[in-house]
Amino acid sequence: MTTLVVMLIPSDFSSEQQAALRLGDEISRCHHRLVSLLEQLHVDVAVPASSRAILRLLIARDALTVPEIARERAVSRQFVQKIANGLIAQGYVATARNPKSRKSPLLTITEEGLRLLRTMYAREAQLLSRAVEDTDATVAALDACRTTLEALRGSMDGMLDDGGAGRL
């Protein structure tokens, strides 16, 4: 079922601006749907989306400090520290000595954290495969979409590095 969403985009915006706003809105709606679906899918696991995101990042990047995770996630160090403390208490993350800093240990995923993520990935693969099948999307189309989103994220990372949206 397709729902028509009317956005209040001024008609004097360029076609590129209008398309960008519609894309941003759709990404936001998809994100919220995905978070809701994953919360339902993992209701038996006491690991919220923000914690799962850090576990996924540690899988992808091996060992990171809290400040590195905060920069990658574009959130505060304090927010990441609170989540990391919970993951450590649950046994999903461990700390390791950081040869580059005395104050900021490296966070690594534990075997228990790996087991948890494997279980979650298996569930999510089934869920997301169903969504892809419902759209008849090809692997090439999905890869093209991902590539475009990665490029947009890279551009936004650059804007954040330059001081954020306040410098437009």
Of 54, 59, 76, 57, residue with least CA distance to 67: 76
Q: For residue 9, is pLDDT > 80? A: no
Q: Which CATH architecture has domain 36-160?
A: Orthogonal Bundle (1.10)
From CA 40, how far away is CA 82, in angstroms rounded? 23
Please report the pLDDT score of residue 160 as a whole number: 85
Closest listed residue to residue 65, CA positions, set 83, 79, 81 = 81
| Residue 53 tokens, joined | 């995101």
Do residues 104 and 98 lie in contact, with contact meaning Cβ atoms separated by under 8 Å? yes
Mean pLDDT value across residues 73-83: 95
Q: Which two tokens stand for residue 163?
A: 């001081």
CA atoms within 13 A on the CB side of 126: 7
Whether the pTM exceeds 0.95: the reply is: no
Task: Give residue-wise pLDDT tens across range 26-58.
Answer: 999 999 999 999 999 999 988 888 999 999 999
Model pLDDT, residue 5: 54
Domain boundaries, the chain: 36-160
- Compute the 3-state secondary structure of the chain and give helix, strand, coil in percent, each to the nearest 5: 65, 5, 25
Percent of the chain with pLDDT over 70: 93
Mean pLDDT of the chain: 90
Strand ranges (E), 27-142: 93-96, 106-109
